[in-house]
């Protein structure tokens, strides 16, 4: 397990609300909370940028963090991330903001401290572009969506 540098920006984190942590030994993500001053209602189709109350610094170009929706909120209520997946680069040091989108057909009420999304740290491989005139043909080649006959 690696250490993640975190600055607590909202003093309620770790006092009123637990710090993000893995729920089980097999959990891939840790829940982030909506560090709101008051309840917020998202109408159908509406988006909002919510504070997480913390800043992170991965400090390793071989890592990135991604924000993913919580499956229960997305499936049951229609609350997903406004950009579908949030990407946090290894050199970013500002507050983690959570872009939320109500893709459902009913209003969604978000309470201060509510678990709102997951933070997952993933490996990253940076590449160098190698410009070529052609590729050695693979079995798939340029076969696109549905090319196997299975949709």
Q: What pLDDT score does 150 carry?
A: 64
Query: Is the residue at 86 inside a domain?
Result: yes
- Encode pLDDT of 74-93 as tens digits: 778 878 998 889 999 999 99
How many domains does the structure of the chain reveal? 1
pLDDT-based confidence at residue 97 (cuts at 50, 70, 90): very high
Query: Is the residue at 138 inside a domain?
Result: no
Contact 98, 34 (CB under 8 A): yes
- Encode pLDDT of 122-150 as tens digits: 999 999 999 999 989 888 777 666 666 66
Q: What pLDDT score does 78 carry?
A: 79
- CATH code (residue 31): 2.70.40.10
Query: Is the residue at 132 inside a domain?
Result: no
Q: What pLDDT score does 131 carry?
A: 96
Query: Is the residue at 133 inside a domain?
Result: no
Fill in the DSSP letter of residue 13.
Answer: B
- Encode pLDDT of 13-23 as tens digits: 999 999 999 99
Average pLDDT score, the chain: 92
Query: Is the residue at 147 inside a domain?
Result: no
Q: Which residues contact 24 (CB under 8 A, 6 or more apart)?
A: none
Tell me the binding residues: 70-72, 83, 87-89
Q: What pLDDT score does 84 carry?
A: 86
pLDDT-based confidence at residue 9 (cuts at 50, 70, 90): very high
Closest CA to 2 of 122, 85, 96: 122
Query: Is the residue at 131 inside a domain?
Result: no
Contact 67, 88 (CB under 8 A): yes
The residue range of the domain holding 61 is 5-123
Tell me the binding residues for substrate: 70-72, 83, 87-89
Query: Is the residue at 41 inside a domain?
Result: yes
Query: Is the residue at 140 inside a domain?
Result: no
């Amino acid at each position: 397990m690696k250490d993640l540098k975190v600055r607590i920006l909202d003093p309620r984190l770790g006092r009123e609300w637990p710090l993000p942590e893995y729920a089980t030994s097999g959990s891939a993500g840790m829940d982030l909370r909506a560090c709101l001053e008051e309840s917020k209602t998202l109408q159908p189709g509406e988006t909002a940028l919510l504070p997480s109350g913390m800043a992170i610094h991965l400090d390793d170009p071989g890592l990135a963090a991604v924000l993913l929706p919580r499956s229960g909120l997305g499936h049951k209520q229609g609350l997903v991330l406004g950009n579908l997946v949030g990407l946090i680069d290894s050199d970013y040091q500002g507050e983690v903001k959570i872009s939320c989108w109500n893709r459902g057909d009913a209003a969604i009420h978000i309470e201060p401290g509510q678990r709102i999304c997951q933070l997952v740290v993933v490996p990253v491989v940076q590449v160098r572009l190698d410009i070529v005139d052609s590729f050695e043909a693979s079995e798939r080649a340029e076969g696109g969506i549905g090319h196997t006959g299975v949709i």
